[in-house]
């Protein structure tokens, strides 16, 4: 009697345990930021007479310990400038005409928290308190949902491009050309959808397309570069580094200060976080200093391209046997 083949029970149990471990890591990576996030030292400007600013700052700290980092401003104009340059998430203006300045485009969560102070401030000063949104949402993204979710498709798109090019393109310069071309076309297309179709971005389309293209190149280029250095095993570096580490700490939907130290700051130096912050600043805060964010994106892109040119496996990389066979006549000229 012929016996049908079966997978050994030991291997079956090992497979189940391994898959459960992977699922646990995924859950931790994506849910940990939501569980640990809370307001921490969010910079908020307070403008008004010194005799009124200090007592209000003390009362604010008592109301929400550790949540806000009060930045003194001389007057309303100075407070607005701090908001527009991203030095503060909002402001409270004291004096004869008390006012709360919010910036929904910077963080709807902080804007709601500041607006909630209006009744207490009104009771304290005995005068009506006006709430003004300095950077309201654009019409195409009235709740900020698009910018809050933009990092995931950028990471996935970069990973797909980097892995596909690593598996199908043979030759170092052909692979670099492919990843750069894919990034440029992807940047133009994605920015076109976000800004031209959805209307979820403002500012210069060319700049937004450049941000998206650089983010895709940073992810895809590093994957191609890692494959050039360590071979096919380098493909796994992308999902681990960018999907499980960088994307959860990108802080696209909340201020980076809300993550435990130092993860929020680290996230701004990685491609998803830098790209999300740049798109937000280009749309809502054109006067903000974005040098660090551009340097972060460009550094990752350059790193990937550099690795792709010097890696030991730079010619064949992780290309499949079919891709290598198809390209064999070309290898002598690469």
Do 174 and 305 fall into the same domain?
yes
- What is each CA distance from 112 to 105, 203, 204, 206, 266, in whole angstroms? 12, 25, 28, 32, 26
- Does 170 share its domain with 124? no
Give the chain's mean pLDDT: 89
How far is Cα 311 from Cα 217, in angstroms, rounded to an integer? 18
Backbone angles phi, psi at 173, to 5 degrees: -75, -30
Task: List, for residues 213-250, the tens digit of each pLDDT value.
Answer: 999 999 999 999 999 888 888 899 989 999 999 999 99
- CA–CA distance, 158 with 152 (Å, rounded to integer): 10
Q: Is the pTM of this model over 0.85?
A: yes
pLDDT, position 122: 86
State the CB neighbour count (10 A cutoff) for residue 21: 10
Q: Is residue 158 part of a domain?
A: yes
* pLDDT 10s digits, 127-178: 899 999 999 999 999 999 999 999 999 999 999 999 999 988 888 899 999 9
Give the domain extent around 109: 42-133
Indicate if 272 and 238 belong to the same structural domain.
yes
Which tokens in the block code for residue 187? 């940047």
User: Are 225 and 265 found together in one domain?
Assistant: yes
Domain count, the chain: 2
Whole-Å CA distances, 22 to 18, 128, 236, 244, 248:
6, 55, 13, 11, 16
User: 87, 111, 133 — which closes off a domain?
Assistant: 133
Single residue among 77, 108, 133 that ends a domain in this structure = 133
275, 247 Cβ separation under 8 angstroms: no
Taking CB atoms within 8 Å and a gap of at least 24, the contacts of 141-146 are 141/198, 141/199, 141/200, 141/201, 143/108, 144/104, 144/105, 144/108, 144/253, 146/194, 146/198, 146/200, 146/201
Task: Give the three-class secondary structure for 199.
Answer: coil
Structural domain contains residue 167: yes
Residue at 37 is within a domain: no
pLDDT score, position 2: 59
Task: Answer yes or no: are the C-beta atoms of 330 and 170 closer than 8 Å.
Answer: yes
- Asked whether residue 150 falls in the same domain as residue 126, the answer is no
199 and 296 co-located in one domain: yes
**Per-block average pLDDT, block size 10, for the chain (334 residues)?**
75 86 82 84 92 84 87 94 97 92 95 91 85 95 93 96 92 92 97 96 97 98 92 89 94 93 95 97 96 98 94 62 60 46
């Amino acid at each position: 009697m012929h016996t049908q083949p079966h997978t050994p029970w030991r291997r079956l149990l090992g497979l189940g345990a391994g898959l459960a471990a992977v699922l646990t890591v995924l859950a931790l990576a994506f849910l940990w930021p939501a569980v640990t996030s809370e307001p921490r030292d969010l910079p908020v400007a307070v403008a008004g007479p010194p005799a009124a600013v200090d007592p209000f700052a003390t009362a604010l700290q008592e109301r929400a310990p550790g949540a806000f980092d009060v930045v003194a401003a001389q007057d309303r104009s100075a407070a607005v400038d701090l908001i527009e340059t991203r030095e503060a998430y909002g402001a409270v203006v004291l004096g004869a005409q008390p006012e709360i300045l919010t910036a929904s485009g910077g963080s709807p969560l902080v804007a709601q928290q500041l607006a909630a102070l209006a009744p207490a401030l009104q009771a304290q000063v005995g005068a009506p308190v006006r709430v003004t949104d300095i950077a309201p949402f654009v019409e195409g993204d009235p709740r900020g949902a698009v910018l809050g979710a933009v990092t995931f498709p950028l990471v996935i798109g970069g990973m797909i491009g980097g892995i596909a090019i690593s598996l199908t393109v043979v030759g170092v310069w052909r692979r670099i050309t492919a990843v750069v071309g894919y990034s440029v076309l992807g940047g133009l297309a994605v920015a076109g959808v976000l800004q031209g179709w959805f209307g979820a971005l403002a500012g210069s389309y060319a700049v937004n397309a450049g941000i998206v293209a650089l983010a895709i190149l940073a992810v895809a280029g590093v994957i191609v570069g890692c494959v050039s250095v360590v071979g096919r095993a380098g493909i796994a570096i992308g999902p681990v580094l960018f999907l499980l580490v960088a994307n959860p700490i990108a802080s696209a939907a909340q201020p980076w200060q809300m993550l435990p130290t130092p993860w929020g700051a680290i996230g701004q130096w990685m491609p998803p976080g830098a790209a999300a912050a740049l798109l937000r600043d280009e749309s809502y805060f054109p006067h903000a200093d974005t040098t660090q964010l551009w340097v972060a994106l460009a550094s990752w892109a350059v790193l990937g391209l550099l690795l792709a040119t010097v890696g030991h496996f730079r010619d064949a990389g992780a290309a499949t046997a079919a891709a290598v066979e198809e390209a064999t006549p070309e290898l002598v000229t690469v």
